[in-house]
Amino acid sequence: MTIEDLTLGDIEEVEQYAGVPLATLGDDKAVKGKLLIGLAFVIKRKEDSKFSLADAKAMSMKEINTLLSLEDPTGE
């Protein structure tokens, strides 16, 4: 799953949690912690209905980058 696979409802949920638009993800100067947590939560919850915000908060940057396809999962 990638960001492009999110529904409009998913995006709305992420933006409500983060308090910023999804477009903020591309802004190098914007604070992104809550946005990344929201994205991780919405994406992982689609795979596991028991995945929680606490689970998303416990993810490493490597895990979230891989989840969002920002990093090559092979580590290259």
pLDDT in tens, 22-42: 999 989 999 899 999 999 999
The whole-angstrom separation of Cα 69 and Cα 7 is 17
pTM over 0.75: yes
pLDDT tier, 72 (very low <50, low <70, confident <90, very high otherwise) = very low
**Better-predicted residue by pLDDT, 5 or 12:** 12
53: tokens are 């915000």
In total, the chain counts a number of residues equal to 76
Chain centroid to Cα 19, Å, comes to 14
The whole-angstrom separation of Cα 54 and Cα 9 is 21
Residue the block writes with tokens 């998913």: 10
Share of the chain above pLDDT 90, in %: 72
Name 12's Cβ contacts closer than 8 Å, sequence gap at least 6. none
